Structure 1
């Protein structure tokens, strides 16, 4: 028993205390404050605020890609267009399917690194595409669709799913986790054109050929999947690009609501690694339970488990940034089939990439080029500024004359 006047030593887990401090400092650095209830309050909901919140994660990705950028960029930069390379009247979009371990895969990765918000690598079933402008051999945009998020309330409500329905028929939906146009085509509303290509006969047929007869990873059941719909989420809150996407009376993307503002994007990889190490330290099962098929969104659940173990409220996962959710229905009766599980998909209204592109050029791109001709002043070298801390590497290689590569062949 301690005697009166003796110092009392209180046991403190220094590892926990240090991790809590790092977490608080990181959230403060991003500009988060707390509400009266102790939940997170983001620094804003505008595009600049969202970019800032993603800045740490993006810089982390760029640093991790330094060797890739150094090795590959010199051979790939010439595929990006300057404004003077683009004649809006002659733009001719075409899709090229991307295979792993090819120069096209490297180009896809390099283009994705220019995004202001880091893009996911996707998981499970995946189809990736480069969108080329055949008129000049330059890259217009990139598309990637992959296995969908399991829990997405606005999607399930729109379709009318209960838990059983979703488990049985989610295989017929994919998420577009990369979708957009590359400068200077984005200034010409090329993002709208690229988004419309989701609803093309080309994607529908590719999916049927690749994944039409497959075994569910979680259910282990044989499923005859058909691509009924593709869901995508705007990275910048409300989307001005995806809204009102109609061509000749056909709706290509439909807004179905907003996400709840929950997630883990504000927890960068380095901090997630420390949280995971902490779970391993306390012998928590989530630390190493990460194989696909062990449950939806393992990273989200792992982060939540670590925060709870550290004594934080669940609200710390609520970053408050709501994103607009859109659905692209490839079959005209997609919602009915997804809801009931009955019927044959009606894809008679699907058109080819060429047909969709022709309509989109007339609807958006060509009028934009006449009304806002600023795209002409874009230089392909300007793209380098979008690569953050890797910009100096690219500029050095350009100056050394290493920007060369194989000529694109249609």
Structure 2
């Protein structure tokens, strides 16, 4: 399993629903094969599915996102409003630097545990006398989505099947589907095309 933490597209590509294209590409067999190649020497080298969350509440990017008749991103619940999105990059860097000054290095390698960012915040918070759970509570509930990579992902995860029967859509197939079902409408919208043409990266900030 894998967590897709950020899925989206920056301007001007978001005007053309580039975020949906990235959402399609994530479920491609090429991504699954890259995962297998990267972790081939570990026990868990088969990608059965991914989890992701909306930014706030219900996501227009994932809702109704289908390949033919198959819904790709299935809503399975919502978060409790727990995470790191309310803490700035500067705050996180200060916490990590503080830990290093104390001789504490929080490892960021595969297999070391859940979110490195959250582990840094927890360790720093505890040393500074804060309750880590309170530090990580932002109260913005987000929808949780699950994307199975195989027809029998659920049975496999429940140990009823010993192999995964993958869907195997490749990048070209998924891109063409996105182009036909999503991009075509945007290309015919003059207002959208004007926004793309007049986009100025000098006025864009993250």
Q: Distance in 2 between matches of 1:201 and 1:278?
A: 41
**Residue 110 of structure 1: aligned partner:** none
1:136-285 equivalences in 2 (<5 Å) = 173-211=1-39, 213-215=40-42, 223=43, 225-275=45-95
> 1:275, 1:306 within 8 Å by CA — same for their partners in 2?
yes
Q: In the TM superposition, what whole-angstrom CA distance separates every residue of 1:54-94 from its partner, at most 9, and x where no partner exists?
A: xxxxxxxxxxxxxxxxxxxxxxxxxxxxxxxxxxxxxxxxx
> Where do 4+ consecutive residues of structure 1 move more than 6 Å?
none
- Which ranges of structure 1 fall in alignment gaps of 5 or more residues? 1-172, 216-222, 389-410
- Pair 1:297–1:227, CA change in 2 (3 A): closer
**What secondary structure sits across from 1:367 in the alignment?**
helix
**Residue 138 of structure 2: aligned partner:** 319
Q: Distance in 2 between matches of 1:185 and 1:276?
A: 33
Q: Distance in 1 between matches of 2:127 and 2:154?
A: 41
> 1:196, 1:253 within 8 Å by CA — same for their partners in 2?
no
Q: Distance in 1 between matches of 2:105 and 2:153?
A: 35
Alignment size in residue pairs: 202
Instruction: Establish whether residue 376 from structure 1 lines up as the match of residue 203 from structure 2.
Output: no
**What secondary structure sits across from 2:24 in the alignment?**
helix
Instruction: Establish whether residue 329 from structure 1 lines up as the match of residue 145 from structure 2.
Output: no
**What secondary structure sits across from 1:180 in the alignment?**
coil
**What secondary structure sits across from 2:7 in the alignment?**
strand
> 2:65, 2:73 within 8 Å by CA — same for their partners in 1?
yes
**What secondary structure sits across from 2:134 in the alignment?**
helix
Shift of 1:240: 0.6
Give the CA RMSD over aligned residues: 2.8
Q: Distance in 2 between matches of 1:299 and 1:191?
A: 24
2:105 to 289, 294, 310: 289
TM-score, length basis structure 2: 0.80
Q: Distance in 1 between matches of 2:38 and 2:125?
A: 40
Structure having the higher strand fraction is: 1
- Pair 1:297–1:341, CA change in 2 (3 A): farther
- Pair 1:207–1:299, CA change in 2 (3 A): closer
Q: Distance in 1 between matches of 2:38 and 2:100?
A: 38
Shift of 1:346: 0.8
Structure having the higher helix fraction is: 1
Q: Distance in 1 between matches of 2:144 and 2:183?
A: 24
> 1:244, 1:254 within 8 Å by CA — same for their partners in 2?
no
Instruction: Tell me whether 235-244 or 304-313 shows the greater mean CA deviation.
Output: 304-313
**Residue 338 of structure 1: aligned partner:** 157
**What secondary structure sits across from 1:322 in the alignment?**
coil
Instruction: Tell me whether 244-253 or 175-184 shows the greater mean CA deviation.
Output: 175-184
Structure with bigger gyration radius: 1
TM-score, length basis structure 1: 0.43
The structure with higher relative contact order (CA 8 Å, sep 6+) is 2
- Pair 1:188–1:275, CA change in 2 (3 A): closer
Shift of 1:298: 4.5
- Pair 1:369–1:279, CA change in 2 (3 A): closer
Q: Distance in 2 between matches of 1:288 and 1:299?
A: 14
